[in-house]
Structure 1
Amino acid sequence: MNLGELLGQVARRLPDLPGFIRGEQQVSWRQLLHRVDSVAAALRARGLGKGDRLLVHSRNNLPLFESAWVAFRLGMVWVPTNVRITPPEAAYLGSSSGAVAMLYDEGFEHYVDAVRQASPALRTVIAMAAPRAGELAYDALLDEGAPLQPGFRPAEVNYNDPLWFFYTSGTTGHPKAGVLTHGQMAFVVNNHLADLMPCLSQQSRSLVLAPLSHGAGIHALVNVARGAACVLPVGDRLDCDEAWRLVQQHRIDNLFTVPTIVKMLTEDPAVSRYDHSSLRYVIYAGAPMYRADQCHALRTLGKVLVQYYGLGEVTGNITVLPADCHDADDGPQAKVGSCGYPRTGMQVAILDEQGRELPTGTDGEICVRGPAVFAGYYDNPQANAECFRHGWFHTGDLGHVDEHGYLFITGRASDMYISGGSNVYPREVEEALLTHPAVTEVAVLGMPDDKWGECGCAVIVTTAQVSDDQLLAHLEPRLARYKWPKQFVRWHEMPKSGYGKIVKKHIRTLLETGTEQPA
């Protein structure tokens, strides 16, 4: 089945119920399907269709929400970006994905220019606001396609046809496009309904606090499948008062976010000013949650926390820790420190380097297999060979399982760290810092941070004095802000191995012990 049929089904079943709410803007399922099929019909008439890539760079809004369904129903591949990336980073995504069309939000014209320069395949650019010369207007496509949409039929697809290029950060180099397919994502939708939100219905309302381009977009698909409206804040930045007001106003029963946001929401005074008794599922993922923060959230909201562990490559479907396994008082049902048990239909194993399964309680690499595992990285055979071995997908994370099958993550095999729910891979930051004329050596490590879980610490060797502000100014056009190091440490030399390689393990030990300069 073309996954885009989910929207058509819910629009026929619940035509007049709301599907998208933002401020005073309320769009019914019937209206959503009409708008999506109008744009899709207009693009099909212009020659776009199955297999073409649609790059989307936008803040959370109605056209971004609709663009996924436009792409799905056309059989195109949806390629959403993280809106916080820089123009060169967007240009790489456009080029590496082979995007032939791009949809962009107001104020991001310079992103389009960067993508055009890097992507010769790009031939169609669609502006959400006023278009420039040679560009199309999103609203004009709505009008152009409206007469064609009554006869619009979604593209015929196979189980393994690509649906979404989910760009995921690795340990080295550029982000890689994980290929999510129509059949795989149909399983993911059902799996989320089974494990995360089993009582979701058309009366449900989902608060969207994270970018629809990534994990929140996966959850939006699940809500569409059950006719549950997505409710978006009006502002682009987190406003805890607005969030809790929306929970009360719309009787929100589910939301997806990261531990950092759960902490901010539950520690804000606004949480006590509004009624949040409608909440049933506060789903968090993307990073570990400190036990103190978990207990505070449970005492504030009740037993509504649901954790899952997963990667973009497995679309979150590795383990689940449901609400009844969360307990602020360390009761008999609590699984403190665990990220849960294997998701429905999925299998988790702890393997050694030879691919042999390790005994209960023994640390090794966390590996997974099952229908939620992606189809592989697009045009990257080397990365595929590295992650698919011994019949399993290798996560690069380290951990063990207990006698009941609950998984405990103990570390990461790679240097990649997670800051505020976003993956950051040090090599990219290091390469950007090394382009500064005064920086000769650099090592970036993720260090514990009370607010963001982890933040970058950059140890640098320089040939001249350079301030933190100068280094950050150098990074501003090169890297998204969330990737910037929070701390810079200056040393005269880097500790190295006998082979001349910088030893990050030694650097971390020196930082953790407070040693200012290696011997």
Structure 2
Amino acid sequence: MTGQGRIRTIADLEALEARGLDAFLPHRSPWEILRAQAERQPGATAIRYLHDAADPSRDEVVSYADLAGRIMGAARLFRQHGVTPDRAVALLTPHSVSGQVALWGAQMAGRACPINPMLKPDHVAALIRASDAAAIVIAGMSDEMAVWAQLVPALRAEGMDLPIFACDADHASPGSDGTFETLIAMGGPEVTPAGDESAIAAFYHTGGTTGQPKLVCHSRLNEAHVARSCAVMHDLSPSDVMVNGFPLFHVAGAFVYGLSVLSAGGTLVVPGRLGMRNPAFMADIWGQVERLGVTVIGAVPTVLSALRARPVNADISSLRWLLTGGSPLPRELAEAVEGHTGVPVRNILGMTESAGAIAVEPVHGGRTPLSCGLRLPFTEVAILGETEGEADPARPLPTGKTGIVATRGPHVAAGYSDPSRNAGTFLPEGWLVSGDLGRLDAEGRLFVTGRKKDMIIRGAHNIDPQMIEDALLAHPEVTNAAAVGMPDAYAGELPVAFVTGAVTEAAMIAFLGQRIEDPVALPKRIAVVEALPLTPIGKIFKPSLRAEAIRWAIAAAAERLGIVAKVDVAPNLETRITTSAGDVERLSDALAGMPITCTVEAG
């Protein structure tokens, strides 16, 4: 990291801040960052895209100058089709070169609205309308992705008459208004972005996978600040080569592990349209590290689990860091991965409303079990008490006390596109309430101890339990419902539900299949019970349900191993498991990836 010094402690952060924000962040928008790199090192590799992980000859290598030129071409195309500073481009693309180009080009012409292409067409249409999009880019016909065939006819049937461009297509895409890659290569005048660093750069959807659209308004400054902050905390430089298989509709893919690398002048390795779900890439992950000189891999805990299961069969001495976030990082998993690879693991806490980052473990500061790291430069993190059940900035809690995590600074978005949704999350004083429960230690490290909002985190997907509960309660025979996360060694958590009423589990799963757009939000198990546990004032007491979900998860793991285990879950959800002496290690290994506090002992 040139000219900034290595960050290890809060004192290092304060020394960096003493130099001023202008020195830390000279470029206040993604385009300024990318243009500066194109001018500084035009021939350096910005993106290496693996069209076929098994065939290195098909790698697509894009220089910074080429990337900037394509982005300008995309901005020109969008302006020609009605995109203005107050209108958006809806992007339903894979993480690819064209996906990157479309994202930044849309922000130059107006606003970007990346959308998960796996959502159902009616929800996609609602997001497109909520963003006031003037054009759409969708992954074209290919053997790997069925997005075009599923979405385009449905969007047209919904009355969507906007121009739709096909990108990353292997075959002709019926109904296309043109091929994105061809159209952006056409000449024309340059586009100058309108507005300053506070202008809206993008809308990112959040808050569940069904119901009314909920769009976070990112400013250019939000995105640039997170990118630069992560580059500094992760000590990224032009020599770094980062594997980034996150989708671009996820803030980690776009900013935390994407624009951060580009801001440092490094190289992004994108493992094809399927990202880290690319079986050819994952089967040869260590060989790819050796071949490409990979120095950093961005991952979620589920991917770390997969890496742990892969024998290290290549020279991975280039690999400096394994970076993770998106869901809780179990201490046992981090230690097991570090022991298996010899590569340090570092954690992060972020959310869509903060452009992906709130706290980061600095790579040179060591890993502290259960810590999310230090606040970002030029930001604040506070632990707040409550007033009438809501986080209250007038009641900050001292070091070591547990309360609601809040943050403010250049990374915090201005709010949702519908301001009526801001209450309780975006506070007038500039605070963003994360919904997490946590504490700060004397060294400034943040520890998350629970979730005030009960969000279920499956891999890197945030699943709103209220959304599942509302869908369950739509059944005429269901009288009450609750959804919680069940610990899972691979996914972190899986959604499960409890209902009362004259129904069956099979019937409820079938019922939800027609009402929940995203398959990852479908409960893996639905228990039909006589009554749900309630608090004295009649609210559902979810800790009891989480305890039951923990018992399910441990029982399933023990059954798979043919092990008999006794499980005791305390009111604070700390879990004690007893089994035969010969099975302690096997069961401990099977539970290592679960985000629970547990002890396995002989008994």
TM-score, with structure 2 as normaliser: 0.76
195, 199, 203: which one aligns with 1:157: 195
> Cα–Cα, structure 1 residues 66 and 28, in superposed 2: closer, same or farther, change >3 Å?
same
In the alignment, which residue of structure 2 is the partner of 1:298? Answer: 338
> Cα–Cα, structure 1 residues 155 and 324, in superposed 2: closer, same or farther, change >3 Å?
closer
Q: 1:417 and 1:136 mapped to 2: Cα distance?
A: 39
In the alignment, which residue of structure 2 is the partner of 1:414? Answer: 453
Farther off after superposition, 226-235 or 214-223: 226-235
11, 18, 21: which one aligns with 2:48: 21
Kept in 1: contact 2:29–2:223 (CA 8 A): no
Alignment of 1:124-273 (within 5 A): 124-128=163-167, 129=169, 130-133=172-175, 135-143=177-185, 146-148=186-188, 151-169=189-207, 174=212, 176-196=214-234, 198-201=235-238, 203-214=239-250, 215-218=252-255, 219-234=257-272, 236=274, 237-239=277-279, 240-269=282-311, 272-273=312-313
> Cα–Cα, structure 1 residues 243 and 66, in superposed 2: closer, same or farther, change >3 Å?
farther
> Cα–Cα, structure 1 residues 190 and 512, in superposed 2: closer, same or farther, change >3 Å?
closer
Structure 1 residue matching 2:202: 3-state secondary structure:
strand
Q: 1:442 and 1:115 mapped to 2: Cα distance?
A: 33
Cα distance per residue 1:401-427 (max 9 Å; x no partner): 122222211111112111112111112
In the alignment, which residue of structure 2 is the partner of 1:286? Answer: 326
Farther off after superposition, 349-358 or 166-175: 166-175
Amino acid of the structure 2 residue aligned with 1:147: G
Q: 1:242 and 1:42 mapped to 2: Cα distance?
A: 38
Identical columns (%): 27
Structure 1 residue matching 2:323: 3-state secondary structure:
strand
Q: 1:480 and 1:491 mapped to 2: Cα distance?
A: 26
469, 485, 495: which one aligns with 1:430: 469
86, 98, 106: which one aligns with 2:120: 86
Q: 2:159 and 2:41 mapped to 1: Cα distance?
A: 41
Cα distance per residue 1:39-86 (max 9 Å; x no partner): 322332333232211111122222212111211222x11111123322
In the alignment, which residue of structure 2 is the partner of 1:32? Answer: 67
470, 474, 481: which one aligns with 2:519: 481
Farther off after superposition, 284-293 or 305-314: 305-314
Query: How far 1:9 sits from its partner (Å)?
Result: 2.7
Query: How far 1:260 sits from its partner (Å)?
Result: 1.5
In the alignment, which residue of structure 2 is the partner of 1:343? Answer: 376
Structure 2 residue matching 1:273: 3-state secondary structure:
coil
In the alignment, which residue of structure 1 is the partner of 2:385? Answer: 352
Farther off after superposition, 301-310 or 352-361: 301-310
Q: 2:220 and 2:348 mapped to 1: Cα distance?
A: 22
> Cα–Cα, structure 1 residues 476 and 408, in superposed 2: closer, same or farther, change >3 Å?
same
Amino acid of the structure 2 residue aligned with 1:304: P
Farther off after superposition, 499-508 or 174-183: 499-508
In the alignment, which residue of structure 2 is the partner of 1:55? Answer: 90
Q: 2:240 and 2:83 mapped to 1: Cα distance?
A: 35
In the alignment, which residue of structure 2 is the partner of 1:313? Answer: 353
Cα distance per residue 1:149-194 (max 9 Å; x no partner): xx41331321210111122226995452111111222222221122
Amino acid of the structure 2 residue aligned with 1:67: A
In the alignment, which residue of structure 1 is the partner of 2:37? Answer: 10
In the alignment, which residue of structure 1 is the partner of 2:22? Answer: none
User: RMSD of aligned C-alpha atoms?
Assistant: 2.8
147, 151, 159: which one aligns with 1:111: 151
TM-score, with structure 1 as normaliser: 0.87
Structure 2 residue matching 1:245: 3-state secondary structure:
helix
Query: How far 1:302 sits from its partner (Å)?
Result: 2.9
In the alignment, which residue of structure 1 is the partner of 2:12? Answer: none
> Cα–Cα, structure 1 residues 29 and 449, in superposed 2: closer, same or farther, change >3 Å?
same
Alignment of 1:325-336 (within 5 A): 325-326=365-366, 335-336=368-369
Q: Which runs of 5+ in 1 are unaligned?
A: 327-333
In the alignment, which residue of structure 2 is the partner of 1:64? Answer: 99
Farther off after superposition, 47-56 or 492-501: 492-501
Query: How far 1:346 sits from its partner (Å)?
Result: 1.4
Q: 2:302 and 2:31 mapped to 1: Cα distance?
A: 32
Farther off after superposition, 86-95 or 275-284: 86-95
Deviating 4+ runs (over 6 angstroms): none
Q: Which runs of 5+ in 2 are unaligned?
A: 1-27, 51-57, 141-145, 553-566, 568-603
Alignment of 1:380-395 (within 5 A): 380-384=419-423, 386-388=425-427, 391-395=430-434
Kept in 2: contact 1:165–1:178 (CA 8 A): yes
> Cα–Cα, structure 1 residues 507 and 288, in superposed 2: closer, same or farther, change >3 Å?
closer
Structure 2 residue matching 1:388: 3-state secondary structure:
coil
Kept in 1: contact 2:471–2:515 (CA 8 A): no
Say if 2:538 is the partner of 1:504.
no
> Cα–Cα, structure 1 residues 377 and 464, in superposed 2: closer, same or farther, change >3 Å?
closer
